[in-house]
Structure 1
Amino acid sequence: MATCAVRWLSRSDVLAAALPLASALEVVEATLRDHGNGAFENPPKTGVHPQHDAFIHAMAGWLPRQKRGGVKWVAGYSSNYKSGLPNITGLMVLNDPETGLPICVMDAAYLTAVRTSAASAITSKYLAPSNVDRIAVIGAGLQGLYHVKLMSLIHPSAEFQVVDIDPSAVDRLANQVSAEARVVHVREAESAIRAADVVVTATSRLEEVVFQFGWMKKASLVLPVHVRGWSQDITTASDALFTDDVEQFTNFIRATGSPYEDLSRVRGSVSSVIVGKLTGRSSNSDRIAVFNLGLAIHDVAIAAEILSLAERQNIGTVVAY
């Protein structure tokens, strides 16, 4: 019997592969076009919820045009910080499309941060108002950091107003992006949101209402990384409401319970706007909200790019099985 082998990429290996963030944007935009044109398989994520503020999900995806498929097994525990552990952890498995054999297992924390932020950035490319001068980022953790990095590539002249309950976290973020973006530390979320053209709430899961949609000015876009935390009128007062995948969003809401009374106004997927099947911003004064839950096909596409870079540079450990 032939020997099978899988390449293991640790967290440090994934970082050493050095995926250019501009390439991540291109990959995510191309994958959204595939989604909009129906060239994908992305079954709604399934999983378990061991604690009220925690999940462990399986996310499978297949991209027939690129012939790339795999699954991410990802956990989110918002209380992990108390033990000095990351909020998001997981593993990504890529499979050979011809045989189904696993060909790579990699740490999934970095690719999750990158693909989530890239999806927000590409969403803002198509749905943000025409002039983006200020972007509010609420939360200066890993998601906040990569949202600044990726969105600065789409909006290079924008000022990032960053809010966090820990002022030192904002300082660390500002130092990490000093060559890429202008960061201003703002103490109150309300003042940052009221001034922003684009708002990203990159906090951990929130059970209570923390943000009021009434703070959003006309001609703005809000991108909640997590569904919860906003006032009810985010779904009723917004001029347009989108998600990244309607089927997945519907399944998620049914499984976890909606924090909002009315989600009937979800117009469709961001990808349908990108490929021209739906109208996005009908007026520059629109206030638009987008719930991007995260697409497995983005994980597959980003992971495939990382694997390709790792193979060319001989990064990682190849294990026979």
Structure 2
Amino acid sequence: MSQQETLLFINKEDVFKLGDLKRTMAKVKEAMLVLESGEYLMPERLSATYKERTVLSMPALTNTASGTKLLTVTPSNIKLGLPSIFGLMTVNDFTTGKPLAIIDGSALTSLRTGAVGGLAVDYLAPKNAKSVGIAGCGAQGFYQLIYTCCVRPIERVYLYDAYAKDLTNFIERVKKALCEYKIEEKITFVVCKDTKELISQSEIVITATTSNTPIFDNDKTLFHGKTIIGVGSYQPTCREFPDAIFGEDTAVFIELPFAKEETGDLAIPIENGLIKTEDIHLLVELDKKPELMKKTNFFKTVGMALYDIVVANDLYIVAKEKNAGQVVKL
């Protein structure tokens, strides 16, 4: 009789328990370096949108791992008190293709996207930066803030959310998470009346919204000297940032070349001649060329399947080491 095949199910709680912040950022950087090396296969993500509901399929293979993430994105869920993103990640044995694990995709996305933002902050923000503004206080905004507090001595946090004016619960969850991650900074939280107040007060600005149109005024002075991380709106027709963010004093960074086409925050300004494609650089280029940074530094992430498979494969390894997760029979 053949042996019963099994796989490991890693739920949301296990993802966050196993996902060490600094280790996850290291894995995100590893994925960026894999991209730079060319030793991978990552087809363009399949994105299907119908009546403002999107399904995304993102497979990837490296020399050591393979897998696929399936996500649904429904912005209107916010009005129902539900997450805008649901998903699952499969991890397969690279040699045989055998399913090894199924991982909560929403938790994985929050964890690795937070790590991408944290890594970008670590590259771009002044070492003594003490203030951060978060526009969009959902799951993505939550982990962007946690990772930022991991890499910088944050003392003041400015918050804005277009849908939720009472952010008491968000703030309490952040405080609890910071304690759990042993980040013991004394932080003051300020809920802003609008994004102008938020960006004016913050050294680091992180956007994690589903907005189709810019959320900031088209005023160059708002962006001057800031470290700006764009995490939200990723489709070619959607923008979180106005034209004013671009200029001679602004350096623009991405994680993969396709971002220039995929996000309206870059595709539209490129089409309008506000920025040249050759002036947009990969974040990891800063390892060899730190002089690429300018007074204002803007990193736009659209995500990529390499993040998912590298981080998910590592979560699977850690879960096996710690006997975490639930064994499921196939």
Q: Is TM more than 0.5 here?
A: yes
Residue number among 205, 224, 229 corresponding to 1:223 in the alignment: 229
State whether residues 242 and 269 of structure 1, in contact with CA within 8 Å, keep that contact through their aligned partners in structure 2: yes
Residue number among 142, 147, 157 corresponding to 2:144 in the alignment: 147
Superposed, 1:111-126 pairs within 5 Å as: 111-126=108-123
Pick closer, same or farther for the CA change 1:275–1:85 going to 2, 3 Å.
same
Equivalent residue number for residue 166 of structure 1: 165
Aligned residue for 2:220, secondary structure, equals helix
Equivalent residue number for residue 39 of structure 1: 39
Superposed, 1:1-321 pairs within 5 Å as: 3-15=4-16, 17-52=17-52, 54-64=53-63, 67-129=64-126, 131-164=128-161, 165-168=164-167, 169-177=169-177, 179=179, 180=183, 181=185, 182-187=187-192, 188-203=194-209, 205-212=210-217, 214-227=220-233, 228-236=239-247, 239-247=250-258, 249-253=259-263, 258=267, 260=269, 261-262=272-273, 264-266=275-277, 267-276=279-288, 279-281=291-293, 283=294, 286-321=295-330
Question: 1:269 Cα shift?
Answer: 4.2
Question: 1:108 Cα shift?
Answer: 0.9
Question: 1:92 Cα shift?
Answer: 0.3
State whether residues 254 and 283 of structure 2, in contact with CA within 8 Å, keep that contact through their aligned partners in structure 1: no
Aligned residue for 2:241, secondary structure, equals coil
State whether residues 77 and 84 of structure 2, in contact with CA within 8 Å, keep that contact through their aligned partners in structure 1: yes
Unpaired runs of 5+ in structure 2? 234-238
State whether residues 8 and 104 of structure 1, in contact with CA within 8 Å, keep that contact through their aligned partners in structure 2: yes
Aligned residue for 1:73, secondary structure, equals strand
State whether residues 163 and 170 of structure 1, in contact with CA within 8 Å, keep that contact through their aligned partners in structure 2: no
State whether residues 83 and 139 of structure 2, in contact with CA within 8 Å, keep that contact through their aligned partners in structure 1: no
State whether residues 235 and 262 of structure 1, in contact with CA within 8 Å, keep that contact through their aligned partners in structure 2: no
| TM-score normalised by L of structure 2 | 0.83
Question: 1:262 Cα shift?
Answer: 4.1
Pick closer, same or farther for the CA change 1:143–1:195 going to 2, 3 Å.
same
Hey, what's the Cα distance between the residues in 2 that align with 1:45 and 1:279?
33
Identical amino acids, percent of aligned pairs: 21
Pick closer, same or farther for the CA change 1:287–1:90 going to 2, 3 Å.
same
Q: Which moved more, 1:176-185 or 1:303-312?
A: 176-185
Unpaired runs of 5+ in structure 1? none
* Amino acid of the structure 1 residue aligned with 2:216: F
Q: Deviations over 1:154-173 (max 9, x none)?
A: 10245322223422344334
Hey, what's the Cα distance between the residues in 2 that align with 1:216 and 1:115?
29
Hey, what's the Cα distance between the residues in 1 that align with 2:74 and 2:274?
26
Question: 1:87 Cα shift?
Answer: 1.0
Q: Deviations over 1:260-306 (max 9, x none)?
A: 4346434344344244268531x4xx212221001211111221222
Question: 1:71 Cα shift?
Answer: 1.1
Pick closer, same or farther for the CA change 1:114–1:262 going to 2, 3 Å.
farther
Q: Which moved more, 1:31-40 or 1:145-154?
A: 31-40
State whether residues 129 and 219 of structure 1, in contact with CA within 8 Å, keep that contact through their aligned partners in structure 2: no
Hey, what's the Cα distance between the residues in 2 that align with 1:120 and 1:238?
21
Hey, what's the Cα distance between the residues in 1 that align with 2:175 and 2:315?
26
Aligned residue for 2:82, secondary structure, equals coil
State whether residues 137 and 160 of structure 1, in contact with CA within 8 Å, keep that contact through their aligned partners in structure 2: yes
Aligned residue for 1:49, secondary structure, equals strand
Hey, what's the Cα distance between the residues in 2 that align with 1:192 and 1:55?
30
Aligned residue for 2:25, secondary structure, equals helix
State whether residues 261 and 267 of structure 2, in contact with CA within 8 Å, keep that contact through their aligned partners in structure 1: no
Root-mean-square deviation (Å): 2.7
Aligned residue for 1:72, secondary structure, equals strand
Structure scoring higher RCO (CA < 8 A, sep ≥ 6) equals 1
Question: 1:124 Cα shift?
Answer: 1.6
User: What is the count of residue pairs matched by the alignment?
Assistant: 311
State whether residues 231 and 301 of structure 2, in contact with CA within 8 Å, keep that contact through their aligned partners in structure 1: yes
